Amino acid sequence: MDSALLMHRLHFAFTVTFHYLFPQLTMGLAPLIVVLKTIALRRNDETYNKAARFWARIFGINFVIGVVTGIPLEFQFGTNWSHFSRFAGGVIGQTLAMEGMFAFFLESAFLGLFLYGEKRLSPRAHWWSAVAVFLGSWLSGYFIVATDAWMQYPVGYARAADGSVQLSSFWALVLNRWAWWQYAHNMSGAAITGAFAMASIGAFYLLWGKYAEYGRIFIKTGVMAGCIFSVLQLFPTGDRQGRLIARYQPVTLAAMEALFTSGPGAPLVIIGQPNVEERKIDNPILVPKMLSFLTYRRWEANVRGLDAFPQELWPQNISLLYYSYHIMVGLGTIFIAIMVISLFLLWCGKLFNARWMLWILMLSLPFPYIANTAGWMTAELGRQPWLVYGLFRTADGYSKTVSPGNAMFTLLGFMGMYTVLGILFLFLVRREIENGPDLDSAVHG
């Protein structure tokens, strides 16, 4: 790969991957905080209010890092991907600008109110500010996913005389069918991160023997939400997303599954190492005919493998794409198992004393992050070699005027900056967890 292209791709990949560690938790926590606030309001129970405030503090720290690492992404469309912006700005500028106008204002304005304004608001008004933050963060997610969905499945555009694309149908862009399923799948993934985080901290408190009252609330809320969203993640959202890929990006599907040869009754690879040179899977563990069934609901359906497509249409990094996809699916399956067992124990009234399960819940925290990251890597690596699927190649999109040396300078700068941010984040969150939810009037600053 051309080194300028590689630099600009790494630049975006690094900044976006780091960024998305934070919004997935804020988007996941936002509805759970609304749930806690609702119970507090309904039962007039101060414990739930304190529980909500505890998560609001974690939310706030996350939100700051999410915002400051999100700004560079918007800017990079111009700084590092200017030829892409010139090509597609007339279409995706719509969704990106709408995110600013509709979501950011809502979210940031009401987060300030939610974090600083509790004493100035009635309980009901404070509840509404929590709802506004939830809406803002989920709306923001929609516009971003709609932008990505357009790059995966471009609709509602027309070619202009200068070769760029321009908007021709607003509703086609905003109601892109690809966006609906991708959004549902993505938000469910974020909710899983939020639910696991809540359950994990709850398990930590119970194992620690401190703040046990809160620990039980956190586990209950986290496990119930986690169970719902882990199942939704697989079906229908993941299933529908997969079938869209099978239909509109068949070569991507073949690469995700490392299916080198076409044929009826295609098997599903559970584990194995793709060997792209020899066009086979090493040490495979297969479920016969399963891929045909999952894709077309028929055991004998013909699935096109990579051999059915010219090599210049293959995603360049088949191994990484394959692993990303399999890590995502594998972890998603494990999440369902963990959450269903936990819910069963909760239902029997045994979960709070089942120390082995509490340990599992506590230690499971990093895995939803890995699964969400792997999911996005699947989507974006699978789109290659296209920046806009079928229309515009990634190799044509980066800023030709920005030399690889300049791009590396800023990439290294971002790496340093984000390392500091990451350390600060861990330090501050650890401190909040140690301080616990039971602060009376938790005034900082």
Which residues, numbered 122-161, are part of the site for another protein (CB under 8 A)? 158, 160
Residue 180's closest CA among 133, 237, 250, 102? 237
Indicate the residue among 46 and 278 with the shorter CB distance to another protein. Answer: 46
Q: How far is the CB of 372 from another protein (least distance, A)?
A: 23
Provide the minimum distance between the beta carbon of 132 and another protein in the complex, in angstroms, as a whole number: 8
Which residues within the stretch 55-114 sit at the binding site for another protein (CB under 8 A)? 56-57, 60-61, 64-65, 67-69, 71-72, 74-75, 77-80, 82-83, 85-86, 88-91, 93-94, 96-102, 104-106, 108-113
Is 4 a binder of another protein (CB under 8 A)?
no
Residue 443 contacts another protein per CB under 8 A: yes
Name which of 90 and 272 has its Cβ closer to another protein.
90
Q: Judged by CB under 8 A, how many residues of this single chain contact another protein? A: 77
Shortest Cβ 198–another protein spacing (Å):
18
- Nearest of 207, 230, 235 to residue 219 by alpha carbon: 207
Q: What is the DSSP letter of 389?
A: T
List the one residue from 6, 212, 417, 433 that touches another protein (CB under 8 A). Answer: 417
Closer by beta carbon to another protein, 56 or else 318: 56
C-alpha dihedral sign at 263, 267, 269, 275 = negative
Q: Are 204 and 178 in contact (CB under 8 A)?
A: no
Distances (CA, A) of 239 to 171, 199, 294, 320, 431: 25, 26, 8, 21, 40
404 touching another protein, by CB under 8 A: no
Query: Given 3-state DSSP classes, what are the helix, strand and coil percentages for the chain, each rounded to the nearest 5?
Result: 75, 5, 20
Nearer to another protein, 117 or 264 (CB): 117
CB environment 104-140: b (16+ within 10 A), e (fewer): bebbeebbebbbeebeeeeeeebbbbbbbbbbbbbbb
Please answer whether residues 92 and 151 qualify as being in contact, where contact means their C-beta atoms are separated by less than 8 angstroms.
Answer: yes
Out of 32, 35, 62, 118, the residue judged to bind another protein by CB under 8 A: 118
Least distance (Å) between residue 6 CB and another protein:
17
Q: How far is the CB of 409 from another protein (least distance, A)?
A: 8
* Closer to another protein by Cβ: residue 12 or 325: 12
Q: Minimal distance in Å, beta carbon 145 to another protein?
A: 16
State yes or no: residue 13 binds another protein (CB under 8 A): no
Minimum CB–partner distance for residue 406 and another protein (Å): 6
Considering the rule CB under 8 A, would residue 216 count as an interface residue with another protein? Answer: no
What residues from 231 to 250 belong to the interface with another protein (CB under 8 A)?
none
Distance CA 145, CA 147 (A): 5
For position 43 contacting another protein by CB under 8 A, the verdict is no
179 scored as a contact of another protein (CB under 8 A): no
393 touches another protein by CB under 8 A = no
Non-local (6+) Cβ contacts of 316 within 8 A are: 1, 384, 385
Extract long-range pairs of 401-405: CB within 8 Å, 24+ residues apart.
401/82, 402/4, 402/8, 402/79, 402/80, 402/82, 403/4, 404/3, 404/4, 404/6, 404/7
Q: How far is the CA of 71 from the CAs of 64, 74, 415, in angstroms?
A: 11, 6, 15
User: What does the alpha-carbon distance between residue 54 and residue 440 come to, in Å, rounded to a whole number?
Assistant: 11
Residue of 331, 425, 343 whose CA lies nearest to 369: 331
Query: Please, what is the minimum distance in Å from the beta carbon of residue 421 to another protein?
Result: 7
The set of residues, in sequence order, having a beta carbon less than 8 Å from that of 50 and lying 6+ positions away, is 214, 437, 438, 439
The one segment of 240-248, 255-263, 375-383, 399-407 that binds another protein by CB under 8 A: 399-407
Q: Is 286 in the site for another protein (CB under 8 A)?
A: no
Mapped onto helix, strand or coil, the DSSP state of residue 273 is strand
Among 17, 38, 47, 166, binds another protein (CB under 8 A): 166
The SS3 assignment for 285 reads strand
Write the CA distances from 344 to 191, 227, 337, 351, 354, integer angstroms.
Answer: 20, 10, 11, 8, 12
Choice between 117 and 366, CB closer to another protein? 117
Interface pick for another protein out of 3, 170, 213, 307 (rule CB under 8 A): 170
What is the distance, to the nearest Å, from the Cα of residue 415 to the centroid of all Cα atoms in its chain? 21
Residue 97 vs 287, nearer CB to another protein: 97
Q: Is 405 an interacting residue with respect to another protein (CB under 8 A)?
A: no
Q: How far is the CB of 42 from another protein (least distance, A)?
A: 22
| C-beta of 64 vs 212, nearer to another protein | 64
Minimum distance, C-beta of residue 221 to another protein, in the bound complex (Å): 20
Q: Is 415 in the site for another protein (CB under 8 A)?
A: no
Interaction of residue 399 with another protein, rule CB under 8 A:
yes
Residue 312: CB atoms within 10 Å:
8
Asked if residue 14 binds another protein (CB under 8 A), the reply is no
